[in-house]
Amino acid sequence: MAIIPFGSVDRSQAPPVLTARSAERGRWLARDESIMGTAIRVELWCDEPRDGEAAVAAVMQEMHRIDATMSPYKAASELSRINRDAADAPVPVSGEMFALLERAVQFSRWSDGAFDVTYAAVGQLYDYRHGVVPDAAAVERARVAVGWQHLVLDPAARTVHFARPGMRVDLGGFAKGHAVDNCVALLREQGIRHAIVSAGGDSHVLGDRRGRPWTVAVRDPRGAGVVALLPLVDTAISTSGDYERYVERDGVRHHHLIDPRTGVSPRELRSVTILAADGLTTEGVSKSVFVSGLDKGMRLVESLHGVDAVIVDADGRLHYSSGLLHGSARPAEGAARQ
């Protein structure tokens, strides 16, 4: 897991489990499952156990719904239908999917193409599990089909069309950011005031931890420890790093964060952690910054109100945005900093 509530245990390989911890009144409930190819966790405080269990179940149900809708690996998903048919003709889509694609295009425009969900035309050539890295010729052929400018969205008809053959969309972590946002909204509707919902490297904190902040640890990209501890209240957070899925070839790390404009992995940074009000923003910005590099990426962060960053560069050094340099984050013991 890229981001974990400090002091928690990685249960990504464990079967679904619901646990409870008693306190003076009410209790904490927590549940872990594996959905969307990643570790899903919800932890919340409830006054009535039955209400808390219903809220936890609602979170997992929403995660499964989004997986069924937005997975590129499920043949019946809405995203698979788009990838299968949108090059031939405009494909009608749900309002939810259309809004996500519109937001993705906004991030692509803002980041000058560093963020681009159509990278999948190249991304599908890599198989990190089996150590497959495409050669330069294959990347160049596929790169012709990459480009958010060729993703045609018709708001009136609410359709999606690929203007180039071979185009594909992969929402990846963007869907996970959307998922944690949706789940926090569901918890609010059910009267939950203290919770954290995590989907791999994406988390969204609701309220505080009953009188103190939630403490979230940013993982060391090259070790088993952490590099920073972030006290959070009502915040979304996402980490994009080069250590989750990658293949080493001749000393070069080919990882899943691909520059859509080149078809290869950037190597200037090891991880980017973004804090903002919502998970779609943290996801879009974290990937944009990672691909853009330290200088341009930090300028992108500083241009946004209410957005902060913790960046680990290729030498393992920490860099904080201006909002975090004033005491909102603290490095873990022994960590280098800017």
The Cα 243–Cα 221 span in angstroms is 6
pLDDT at 138 over 70: yes
Q: Kindly state whether residues 52 and 186 are assigned to the same domain.
A: yes
Q: Kindly state whether residues 323 and 271 are assigned to the same domain.
A: yes
Q: Residue 101 is part of a domain; what is its CATH number?
A: 1.10.3980.10
Q: Give the pLDDT band (50/70/90) at residue 244.
A: confident
The Cα 86–Cα 16 span in angstroms is 36
Work out the percent of the chain whose per-residue pLDDT is above 70.
89
Q: pLDDT digits over 268-294, tens only?
A: 999 999 999 999 999 999 999 999 999
Q: Kindly state whether residues 197 and 137 are assigned to the same domain.
A: no
Q: Kindly state whether residues 200 and 142 are assigned to the same domain.
A: no
Q: What is the pLDDT of residue 24?
A: 53
Q: What is the pLDDT of residue 21?
A: 54
Exposure string of 107-146, with b = 16+ CB inside 10 Å and e = fewer, is bbebbebbbbbbbbbbbebbeeeeeebbeeeebeebbebb
- Give me the chain's average pLDDT, please: 90
Q: Kindly state whether residues 53 and 200 are assigned to the same domain.
A: yes
Q: What is the pLDDT of residue 13?
A: 37
The Cα 81–Cα 333 span in angstroms is 48
Q: Give the pLDDT band (50/70/90) at residue 173.
A: confident
Work out the percent of the chain whose per-residue pLDDT is above 90.
85
Q: Kindly state whether residues 42 and 186 are assigned to the same domain.
A: yes
pLDDT at 146 over 50: yes
CA dist 133 → 151, 156, 202, 255 (Å): 26, 41, 27, 10
Q: Kindly state whether residues 117 and 13 are assigned to the same domain.
A: no
Q: Kindly state whether residues 164 and 186 are assigned to the same domain.
A: no
Q: Kindly state whether residues 11 and 119 are assigned to the same domain.
A: no
Q: pLDDT digits over 196-218, tens only?
A: 999 999 999 999 999 999 999 99
Q: What order of strands is seen across the sheet that includes strand 236-241? A: 17-22, 27-35, 38-46, 195-199, 202-206, 236-241, 269-276, 308-313, 318-320
Q: Give the pLDDT band (50/70/90) at residue 224.
A: confident
pLDDT at 330 over 60: no
The domain in which residue 50 lies consists of 1-72+171-204
Exposure string of 65-74, with b = 16+ CB inside 10 Å and e = fewer, is ebbebbbbee
Q: What is the pLDDT of residue 20?
A: 55
Look at residues 170, 69, 162 and name the one whose alpha carbon lies nearest to residue 115: 170
Average pLDDT of the segment spanning 153-177: 96
Domain count within the chain: 3
Could you count the other beta carbons within 10 Å of the beta carbon of residue 77?
Answer: 17
Q: What is the pLDDT of residue 117?
A: 97
Q: Residue 45 is part of a domain; what is its CATH number?
A: 3.10.520.10
Q: pLDDT digits over 76-125, tens only?
A: 999 999 999 999 999 999 999 999 999 999 999 999 999 999 999 999 99
Q: What is the pLDDT of residue 325?
A: 84
State pTM to two decimals: 0.89
Q: Give the pLDDT band (50/70/90) at residue 250.
A: confident
Q: Kindly state whether residues 137 and 161 are assigned to the same domain.
A: yes
Q: Kindly state whether residues 300 and 224 are assigned to the same domain.
A: yes
3-state secondary structure the chain: CCEEECCCCCCCCCCCEEEEEECCCCEEEEEEEEECCEEEEEEEEECCHHHHHHHHHHHHHHHHHHHHHHCCCCCCCHHHHHHHHCCCCCEECCHHHHHHHHHHHHHHHHCCCCCCHHHHHHHCCCECCCCECCCHHHHHHHHCCCCHHHEEEECCCCEEEECCCCCCCCCHHHHHHHHHHHHHHHHHHCCCCCEEEEECCEEEEECCCCCCCEEEEEECCCCCCEEEEEEECCCEEEEEECCCCEEEECCEEEECCCCCCCCCCCCCEEEEEEEECCHHHHHHHHHHHHHHCHHHHHHHHHCCCCCEEEEEECCCCEEECCCCCCCCCEECCCCCCC
Q: Kindly state whether residues 332 and 312 are assigned to the same domain.
A: yes
Q: pLDDT digits over 5-29, tens only?
A: 433 333 333 344 455 554 457 899 9
